[in-house]
Amino acid sequence: MCGRYVVVSELKEIEKKFNVKTDQPEQFGMNFNIGPGSLAPIISSAKPDVLQFSQFGLTPFWAKKKMYLFNARSEGDHNKEDDPRYTGARGIITKPAFRKPIRSKRCLVVADCFYEGPKKERLSKPFLVYLQKGKRPFAFAGIYDEWVDQETGEVSTGHSIITTVSNSLTQKIGHHRSPVILKESDYSTWLNLDTPLEGVTTLLEPYPGKEMNAYPVSTRMKNPRENDKDLLLPVGERVTKEFDYEIHRSLKLFGMGQSPARNRRLNEE
């Protein structure tokens, strides 16, 4: 599962990377600990040229009360053993909460990295997972829905990150799932509602583990109220060695592919 993630790129970097403009820039801000209920940036199939803001955690349009379904299994009720070799049916297309969004309400969920932990300890033993070679921001494959509060008439948008089987990196952490991270070349295919359903489900594959890395971080991030850049500091060695480094405050975000110049700007903020 992927229940916490991070957005620390500047707004102009996100707009350039995804070729979008922001409809409500005042809502944007760095977030070091996005969890269920947090407002976070997405790019929807309805407005593929606009960066919007949505609550992390989807509530189906038919639900009687607010829900926060923050992950959606690509296999649906299949592969209950979470076998990483599974290549069978994508049961997400028949799940009541997801069968409509996967067809007509897909989105890119913008992120710079995410938190994950072993299956047993979970976020009591957290790791920060990122793409190597400075590949950020990137996009999770997401779906969203709009829910109307029948008492107040308020309309809220919420999104889920689609998960799939674990890859080699999440297996090393000891986790049984991994979020679907899309390749840049697949962004337009994912957002295009004319894409056949078969073409959509073929994208629900684990990202290559050899192109990712992770390092342990403080358990402070378990508390959803904790939200500062020190949450990203390593407290141990990377899962896969990239280069030698020292663990001290001046590195800040350098561990997940951050340039020293950009890192200095973040430290000054």
The residue ranges of every structural domain in the chain are 4-268
Give per-residue pLDDT as tens, 140-196: 999 999 999 999 999 999 999 999 999 999 999 999 999 999 999 999 999 999 999
CA distances from 16 to 45, 108, 167, 199, 204 (A): 18, 15, 29, 26, 25
User: 268: part of which helix (H) or strand (E)?
Assistant: helix 260-268
What's the average model confidence in pLDDT over 90-110?
98
State residue 243's pLDDT score. Answer: 65
Give per-residue pLDDT as tens, 117-135: 999 999 999 999 999 999 9
Give per-residue pLDDT as tens, 251-269: 445 456 554 444 444 444 4
State residue 256's pLDDT score. Answer: 65
**Largest CA-CA distance found in the chain, in angstroms, rounded:** 57
Kindly report the CATH number that applies to the domain delimited by 4-268.
3.90.1680.10
Q: pLDDT over 90 for what percent of the chain?
A: 88
State residue 1's pLDDT score. Answer: 72
Pairwise pLDDT comparison (87 vs 242), residue with the higher score: 87
The CA-based dihedral angle spanning residues 213, 7, 164, 236, taken in that order and rounded to the nearest 10 degrees? 30
217 — pLDDT class (breaks 50, 70, 90): very high
